[in-house]
Amino acid sequence: MSQKNGSAGSLKSGKLGVLGIVFFVVAASAPLVGMTGAVPVAMLAGNGAAAPGAYLAVGLILMLFSVGYAAMSSRVTNTGAFFAYVGRGLGANAGVASAFVSIVSYITIQLAIYGFFGGVLAGQMGAMGIELPWYVWSLIAWALVTGLSLLSVDIGAKVLGVLLVIELTALLITAAVILIDGGPEGLNFGASFSPDQILAGGFAGGAGIALAFAVASYIGFEATAIYGEESIDPKRSVPKATYWAIGLITVVFAFTSFAMVTGMGASKIFDEVIARSAIDGVPLADPAAVLFSLANQYVGPWMTTVMGWLVITSLFAGLLAFQNASARYFFAMGRGGVLPASFGKTNAAGAPSNGVIATSVLAAAVMIIFAIAGLDPVLNLFFWMSAVTVISLLIVEVLVSVAVVRFFKQNGGENLWKSTIAPVASAILLLLALYLLMSRFNLLAGTAPEGVDPSLPESAWQLNGLGWFLVLLPFIAGVIGYVWALINKSEKNELTKDMLS
């Protein structure tokens, strides 16, 4: 379905190599944001010094998922990615249902990042004497992201590449300096990477919390296949980019978080995280202060300043990456006859312009609603939406794993490891991750009923009304998508069949 020149039903091929795809995917994971936001929580509320091991374990699980995912990508090249994979394996109706869930995931993560971006930048600019509400900064980013997304995809890749290289350089320099120093207790690999430490507290306790936050930090890795049609050699580029992206994200998260543990001392990790992140005696009131204080202590104040601004560029990179991903899902669904055909058209630059506009309009509308309601951009918009995103993606990843097994059972062509063992194992492990996230949703999203401590094991599944709505939203989207497919007879729709062929 791809051509060298963009048309009403195709994206421009030959625009991205392996490196360009990796830039989009790793930028979406926003490593610096994960290090400053998720890792301190995984340490304090989770398994302490073993948090790096949790990130490594999740990376290995996703690498396992990628075995079947990459094998499928060598057979199916489609910008709908999960939509096409699930459709080929489980039928068009299931594919459409997964597409609706995927759209929810990409729109909610973009909304989450807009909230975090506006809140952080408003604080930084306010300290410089420029006082503007969070939504003003978010809408400025929104305008820039929309404009860049309407250009050729390789332009966005170049922007992301520059931002990503600077971000990773800052993280790796800080981590390397800390590890060379050795911290107060030296390098303690056992405390961070031994299985018994990683699983300390069990899945209902600390280990489950750490793994849940680790899973949340890998959002976006699956987007490699979305850019298949625009890649130079999709049969080779997508599998390579998938492995490289997951490998790079895993190394960055595990390496940097281990450096953070080393810098504070494994035996003192809980006290150190509390002391470095507390404001007015409230632990984790400023989780970013953990990494920033370590950078200041071991590298110097200049690195803290640099990182403060790199958080902003990291968030912007994530916004651009997810805008491109969600726009291409709208494009795939329009071209497949699931949504109006106008979504399946591209502009002169080869960008899915109507998908870009739809994504931007939805994002702007929700931000305006949150602003009018006076809701907090971080505590509400960021935490609520990002928690929904992770559940959505895990649901679809489980479906993809099952679809891979069925597809190769029907069509053959791959060995037992790629076609059955790896995808079945990944489906089981991803289902476990989904359970951990859903049962810890109140901790991720801050939706525990009043008087309930979300960090306690017995608080699992204790959600307020909003919490239950948010946790069920991806499932509701999937049901709506399935019913929509039945109404539109997607199993017999020639356009959908063409999309899934």
52 residue type, one letter: P
Q: What is the per-residue pLDDT for 208?
A: 74
What does the alpha-carbon distance between residue 318 and residue 160 come to, in Å, rounded to a whole number? 9
* C-beta separation of 337 from 495 below 8 A: yes
What does the alpha-carbon distance between residue 73 and residue 234 come to, in Å, rounded to a whole number? 8
47 Cβ neighbours under 8 A, 6+ residues apart? 53, 54, 197, 198, 199, 200, 201, 206, 207, 209, 210
What does the alpha-carbon distance between residue 5 and residue 77 come to, in Å, rounded to a whole number? 17
Average pLDDT, the chain: 84
Note the pLDDT tens digit of each residue in 443-453: 777 787 877 77
Least confident of 195-199, 200-204, 286-290: 200-204
Least confident of 28-32, 49-53, 58-62, 351-355: 28-32
pLDDT above 60: residue 18: yes
**What distance lies between CA 426 and its chain's CA centroid?**
18
| 371 CB-side CA count, 13 A | 19
Q: What is the per-residue pLDDT for 205?
A: 60
pLDDT above 90: residue 84: no
Least confident of 205-219, 223-237, 317-331, 411-425: 223-237
Which of these, 146, 499, 496, lies nearest to 347 by C-alpha position? 146
What does the alpha-carbon distance between residue 2 and residue 23 come to, in Å, rounded to a whole number? 22
Helix (H, G, I), strand (E, B) or coil at 348: coil
Note the pLDDT tens digit of each residue in 242-301: 888 888 889 999 999 999 999 999 999 999 999 998 877 777 777 888 999 999 999 999
pLDDT above 80: residue 415: yes
Angstrom distances, CA of residue 410 to CA of 51, 71, 95, 377: 41, 14, 17, 48
Q: What is the per-residue pLDDT for 269?
A: 93
DSSP state of 150: T
What does the alpha-carbon distance between residue 95 and residue 400 come to, in Å, rounded to a whole number? 9
DSSP state of 287: T
pLDDT (mean) for 165-169: 87
pLDDT above 70: residue 78: no
* C-beta separation of 117 from 137 below 8 A: yes
Note the pLDDT tens digit of each residue in 325-378: 888 888 888 887 778 888 888 888 878 889 999 999 999 999 999 999 999 888
Helix (H, G, I), strand (E, B) or coil at 350: coil
Q: Scanning the structure block, which residue is given the tokens 């450096």?
A: 259
Angstrom distances, CA of residue 125 to CA of 142, 290, 303: 18, 21, 18
47 residue type, one letter: N
What does the alpha-carbon distance between residue 97 and residue 222 come to, in Å, rounded to a whole number? 17
pLDDT above 50: residue 1: no
Q: Looking at the DSSP assignment, which residues form a beta bridge with residue 282?
A: 279
Which of these, 467, 451, 462, 427, lies nearest to 69 by C-alpha position? 427
Q: What is the per-residue pLDDT for 6?
A: 44
pLDDT (mean) for 147-176: 81
Highest mean pLDDT among 220-224, 302-306, 453-457, 462-466: 302-306
**The token pair that represents 32 in the structure block:** 């610096």
Domain boundaries, the chain: 18-499
pLDDT above 50: residue 93: yes
CB 340: neighbour CB atoms within 10 A?
11
Note the pLDDT tens digit of each residue in 456-495: 766 777 788 898 999 999 999 999 999 998 887 766 665 5
CATH of domain 18-499: 1.20.1740.10
What does the alpha-carbon distance between residue 326 and residue 192 come to, in Å, rounded to a whole number? 36
What does the alpha-carbon distance between residue 347 and residue 337 come to, in Å, rounded to a whole number? 19
pLDDT above 90: residue 440: no
User: What separation, in Å, do the N-terminal and C-terminal C-alpha atoms of the chain show?
Assistant: 10
Highest mean pLDDT among 132-141, 384-393, 426-435: 132-141
pLDDT (mean) for 122-149: 92
Exposed/middle/buried for residue 224 (C-beta within 10 Å: 0-12, 13-18, 19+): buried
What does the alpha-carbon distance between residue 216 and residue 383 come to, in Å, rounded to a whole number? 11
pLDDT tier, 219 (very low <50, low <70, confident <90, very high otherwise): confident
